[in-house]
Homo-oligomer: A and B are copies of this chain.
Amino acid sequence: MSGRVSEVSVATNGQGMIDVSGLVAAEVANASSDDGLCTVFIRHTSASLVVQENADPSAQDDLERWLERLVPEGDPLYQHTAEGPDDMPAHIKAALTATSLSIPVRAGKLMLGTWQGIFLWEHRRGHNTRRLIIHVL
C-alpha cells in the first residue's frame, strides 16, 4: 500500500465555494504523516476544487460572480440541456478549474500559504452531496 486513501462527503446548497481545508487537514493528521504529499480529488464533473484566499469573503463572492458571468445559464450554444439549465455551465466551470490538487505535507501539516484555503466549488443549484477522495502519502 502506498499512502492512505479516504473518502469524505460534503453537503452543498447551491453555487459557491465551501472551505474544506479543515476536513483535509484532519485526514492528513489521521494519516500521521511526517513529510509527504496530500492529493485531493473530486469525484464529480459539475463541481470542482480550487485553492483561493480564505480571508476576505468578498474575494470568493467576486470569483463566483465573475465565473457566472463568463459561463451564464441559457447560452444558445448549449445542446446538453436535458439535465437542467445549470448543468452545462457547471461542466464548463469545472473544466476551467481543478479536479485534483496536490499539496505537500511537512511534519503532518499541509504546507498551505498563510492566506490559502482549499475550497470545494459547487457549480450546481440545489442540494448535492459531493464526494472527495483524499490520498496522503
Question: Do B44 and A113 have beta carbons less than 8 Å apart?
Answer: yes
Contacting pair A62 B37 (CB below 8 A): no
Contact of A100 among B43, B63, B75, B103 (CB under 8 A): B103
**B-side contacts of A63, CB under 8 Å:** 91-92, 95
Q: Do A59 and B77 contact each other (CB < 8 Å), given the known contacts A137-B2, A137-B3?
A: no
The answer to whether A43 touches B113, judged by C-beta atoms less than 8 angstroms apart, is yes
Pair A111/B133 contact, Cβ less than 8 Å: yes
**Copies of this chain assembled into the complex:** 3
Cβ contact of A53, chosen from B3, B62, B75, B91, cutoff 8 A: B91
Stretch at the interface among A8-16, A18-26, A28-36: A28-36
In the complex, A43 Cα to B50 Cα: how many Å?
A: 13
Q: Which residues of B contact A77 (CB under 8 A)?
A: 62, 65-66, 69
CA distance in complex: A66, B73 (Å): 13
B residues in contact with A137, CB < 8 Å = 2-3, 37, 137
Task: Point out the residue from B2, B44, B92 that lies within 8 Å of A37, measured CB to CB.
Answer: B2
A125 within 8 Å of B (CB atoms): no
Whether B5 pairs with A3 at a CB distance below 8 angstroms is: no
Query: Which residues of B sit under 8 angstroms from A33, Cβ to Cβ?
Result: 2
